[in-house]
């Protein structure tokens, strides 16, 4: 197969920091090509260069063998290069058809938009994709999976030779993912060449023909998907063998920290009874949408409970707001770091001390900067948070370091129980391993940890006990010795089988 798009010796720096160094990349005509690497490996930068969004410092892009220069995104569109970002670029207030035809609406003879032609055009493209979406609906009213289809339809309208998709399945459930993959394969069979950026290696194995691995801004290599093993790929990504990804040692469980008795949150989440003891990592597994997030929110007082009881350290805990949970000594890491965890325009230290302010203040509420700094130094050292200056905005840190800052926020308030919802979402492998090790250490120190996760290997790797939820109820419980992927999955679909 001939090469359609290739990159040679691409270098790119941002204000002195080299992000890409002599990167080689080759996309063949009619293949699905996976691009993997830890966060910060340079995947997005490389793709933005190919899409004409960033200018390269040195090196060369070739399209069908001949060198090309891209000054801006329009240039790449002329070559038929399209990119769908992880955050979609749909105008939520416009209709599906308006979004698909955006930028080049069909006109009637008065020069205004020919809605009929536009809708017909949109319908035609969606039909080609084998999709049935009402083109008159507003983009905000359709599901995430449908929004993705609309994004693809947008790219299909004009000639599309190369399609780049950044984490296309991040927001999709399993069935939607299967459907998307079918669609991607069909596009390949119709002659498009596709680049898939995804953390999920299983998807890379399922979908791609070849995979290129980037690490630290350099190309590690390109492999045929059929000829590579999962372990080998991970090794290429991290540059070392990660046999000890999950750290989990057995601790003597102590007193019961958290206990719920027949807890009902709303219609969706019912009859939850669970226990977390000191020195334990307890996990809650479930397929997406089984009610884990609501449960996590309720345990932290962020959602009001309808009936039942939450006991903490043997006493009933009535919570009106998260402030009550904070006071009791519970910490909570939410699933969406950016939306409801981080204070984006505050600095690293202010982010750490947000909960524990009282500890650094006198009776009048006047803060001691020295005390605050001491505590901060202690925790960032313990958690190995990597940052430049204390005054640096938290938003400039990598996902892994942001997550560590959020953990430090709670630890600095001496919490006894840490609830973590999707603890390693959007975090590179190195930082993941560090967080697992940290959780183990915290338990050894007598804390209790309650993890909500969608990743089965993670749950099996770090938990002492596992609860499984299905359709808002707990359908099974297993110890780490009993638990297997099959068993957990059996519980996770228990109510769907009947």
Partner 1 sequence: MEQNKSGTMTKLKGFLNDGSLLLVIVILCMYFSVKSPYFFSFKNMMNMLISVSVIGIAATGFTCTLIARGPDLTTGAMMALSSCMAALLVSHYDMVWYGAVLVALGTGALFGLANGLLITKFQIAPIVVTLGMMSVVRGIAFIFTNGITIFITEPHLKWFGSGKIFGINAAVIIMILCFLLLSFVTRNTIFGRKIYACGSNPAASRLAGIKVNGIVTVLFTLSGFLSALAGLVLAGISSAALPSAADTYNMDVMTAVLLGGTALTGGEGSVVKTLLGLLIIGIINNGMALLNVPSYWQTLAKGALLIIAVVYDRIRRMMQATA
Question: According to the binding rule CB under 8 A, does residue 252 interact with partner 1?
Answer: no
The DSSP secondary structure of 126-139, one letter per residue, reads: HHHTT----TTSBG
Question: According to the binding rule CB under 8 A, does residue 302 interact with partner 1?
Answer: yes
Q: Which of 166, 205, 209 is nearest to 28 (CA)?
A: 209
Minimal distance, residue 364 CB to partner 1, in Å: 8
- For residues 16 to 55, the per-residue mask of contacts with partner 1, x marking binding by CB under 8 A and - elsewhere, is x---------------------------------------
Question: According to the binding rule CB under 8 A, does residue 63 interact with partner 1?
Answer: no
| CB atoms near residue 81 (< 10 Å) | 27
Contacting residue, 247, 287, 311, 354, with partner 1 by CB under 8 A: 354
Integer Rg of the chain from CA: 25
Minimal distance, residue 14 CB to partner 1, in Å: 6
Cα–Cα distance, 271 to 478 (Å, whole number): 18
Q: Which of 3, 50, 6, 8 is nearest to 28 (CA)?
A: 3
Contacting residue, 300, 379, 436, 491, with partner 1 by CB under 8 A: 300
Own/partner long-range contacts of 393-397 (Cβ < 8 Å, ≥24 apart)? 393/344, 393/345, 393/346, 393/347, 393/348, 394/342, 394/343, 394/344, 394/346, 394/347, 394/348, 394/351, 395/342, 395/344, 395/345, 397/348
Cα–Cα distance, 483 to 10 (Å, whole number): 47
Assigned token pair, 82 = 């399209």
Contacting residue, 60, 87, 241, 340, with partner 1 by CB under 8 A: 340
Q: Calculate the CA 487 to chain-centre distance.
A: 25
Question: According to the binding rule CB under 8 A, does residue 390 interact with partner 1?
Answer: no
Cα separation values, 384 from 291, 332, 380, 390, Å: 33, 20, 6, 14
Contacting residue, 120, 228, 234, 346, with partner 1 by CB under 8 A: 346
Q: For the purposes of burial, counting CB atoms within 10 Å of the CB of 175, is it exposed (0-12), middle (13-18) or buried (19 or more)? A: exposed
Nearer to partner 1, 162 or 408 (CB): 408
Contacting residue, 79, 312, 332, 376, with partner 1 by CB under 8 A: 332
Please list every residue from 138 through 157 that binds partner 1, using CB under 8 A: none
Contacting residue, 185, 250, 318, 327, with partner 1 by CB under 8 A: 327
Minimal distance, residue 13 CB to partner 1, in Å: 11
- What are the residues facing 219 on neighbouring strands? 214
Contacting residue, 70, 326, 407, 468, with partner 1 by CB under 8 A: 326
Contact 408, 379 (CB under 8 A): yes
Contacting residue, 365, 486, 497, 498, with partner 1 by CB under 8 A: 365
Question: According to the binding rule CB under 8 A, does residue 420 interact with partner 1?
Answer: no
Question: According to the binding rule CB under 8 A, does residue 14 interact with partner 1?
Answer: yes
Question: According to the binding rule CB under 8 A, does residue 370 interact with partner 1?
Answer: no
Cα–Cα distance, 3 to 195 (Å, whole number): 13
Nearer to partner 1, 228 or 367 (CB): 367
Residues in the interface with partner 1 (CB under 8 A) total: 36
Contacting residue, 94, 183, 218, 367, with partner 1 by CB under 8 A: 367
Question: According to the binding rule CB under 8 A, does residue 339 interact with partner 1?
Answer: yes
Minimal distance, residue 394 CB to partner 1, in Å: 10
- For residues 458 to 477, the per-residue mask of contacts with partner 1, x marking binding by CB under 8 A and - elsewhere, is --------------------
Minimal distance, residue 332 CB to partner 1, in Å: 6
Q: Calculate the CA 351 to chain-centre distance.
A: 21
**Pairing of the two strands 66-68 and 256-264:** unpaired
Question: According to the binding rule CB under 8 A, does residue 2 interact with partner 1?
Answer: no
- Which of 103-111, 220-228, 256-264, 345-353 is the region at the interface with partner 1 (rule: CB under 8 A)? 345-353
Question: According to the binding rule CB under 8 A, does residue 299 interact with partner 1?
Answer: no
Taking the alpha carbons of 442, 444, 449, 452 in that order, is the dihedral positive or negative? positive
Question: According to the binding rule CB under 8 A, does residue 361 interact with partner 1?
Answer: yes
Contacting residues for 390 by C-beta, under 8 A, at least 6 apart: 347, 348, 349, 373, 376
Minimal distance, residue 342 CB to partner 1, in Å: 6
Question: According to the binding rule CB under 8 A, does residue 450 interact with partner 1?
Answer: no
Taking the alpha carbons of 482, 488, 490, 495 in that order, is the dihedral positive or negative? positive
Assigned token pair, 43 = 């995947």
Minimal distance, residue 321 CB to partner 1, in Å: 7
Nearer to partner 1, 366 or 497 (CB): 366
Q: Binding residues for partner 1, per CB under 8 A?
A: 14-16, 300, 302, 321-323, 325-327, 332, 334, 339-346, 350, 353-355, 357-358, 361, 364-367, 369, 388-389, 409
């Amino acid at each position: 197969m001939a090469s359609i798009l290739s990159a040679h010796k691409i270098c790119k720096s941002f204000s002195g920091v080299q992000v890409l160094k002599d990167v080689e990349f080759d996309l063949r005509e009619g293949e699905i090509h996976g691009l993997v690497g830890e966060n910060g490996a340079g995947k997005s930068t490389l793709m933005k260069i190919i899409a004409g969004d960033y200018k390269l410092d040195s090196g060369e892009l070739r399209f069908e063998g001949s060198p090309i220069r891209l000054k801006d995104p329009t240039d790449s569109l002329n070559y038929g290069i399209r990119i769908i970002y992880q955050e979609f670029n749909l105008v939520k207030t416009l209709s599906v058809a308006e979004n698909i035809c955006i930028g080049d609406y069909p006109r009637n003879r008065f020069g205004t938009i020919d809605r009929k032609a536009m809708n017909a055009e949109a319908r035609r493209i969606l039909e080609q994709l084998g999709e049935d979406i009402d083109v008159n609906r507003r983009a905000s009213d359709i599901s995430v999976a449908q929004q993705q289809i609309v994004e693809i339809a947008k790219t299909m309208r004009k000639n599309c030779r190369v399609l780049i998709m950044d984490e296309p399945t991040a927001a999709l459930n399993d069935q939607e993912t299967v459907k998307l993959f079918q669609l991607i394969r069909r596009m390949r069979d119709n002659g498009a060449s596709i680049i898939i950026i995804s953390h999920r290696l299983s998807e890379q194995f399922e979908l791609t023909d070849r995979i290129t691995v980037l690490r630290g801004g350099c190309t590690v290599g390109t492999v045929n998907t059929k000829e590579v093993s999962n372990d080998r790929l991970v090794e290429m990504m991290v540059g070392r063998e990660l046999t000890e990804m999950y750290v989990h040692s057995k601790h003597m469980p102590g007193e019961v920290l958290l206990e719920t008795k027949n807890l009902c949150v709303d219609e969706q989440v019912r009859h939850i009874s669970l226990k977390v003891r000191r020195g334990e990592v307890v996990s809650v597994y479930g397929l997406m949408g089984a009610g884990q997030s609501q449960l996590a929110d309720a345990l932290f007082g962020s959602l009001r409970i309808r009936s039942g009881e939450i006991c903490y350290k043997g006493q009933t805990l009535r919570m009106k707001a998260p402030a009550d949970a904070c006071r009791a000594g519970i910490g909570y890491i939410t699933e969406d770091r950016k939306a409801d965890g981080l204070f984006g325009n505050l600095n690293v230290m202010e982010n750490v001390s947000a909960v524990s302010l009282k500890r650094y203040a006198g009776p009048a509420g006047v803060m001691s900067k020295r005390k605050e700094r001491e505590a901060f130094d202690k925790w960032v050292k313990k958690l190995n948070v990597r940052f430049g200056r204390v005054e640096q905005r938290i938003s400039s840190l990598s996902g892994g370091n942001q997550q560590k800052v959020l953990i430090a926020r709670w630890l600095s308030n001496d919490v006894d129980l840490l609830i973590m919802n999707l603890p390693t979402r959007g975090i590179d492998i190195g930082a993941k391993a560090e967080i697992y090790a940290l959780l183990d250490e915290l338990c050894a120190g007598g804390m209790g940890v309650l993890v909500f996760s969608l990743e089965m290997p993670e749950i099996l790797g770090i938990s002492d006990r596992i609860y499984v939820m299905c359709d808002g109820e707990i359908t099974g419980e297993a110890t780490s010795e009993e638990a297997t992927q099959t068993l957990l999955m059996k519980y996770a679909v228990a109510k769907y089988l009947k």
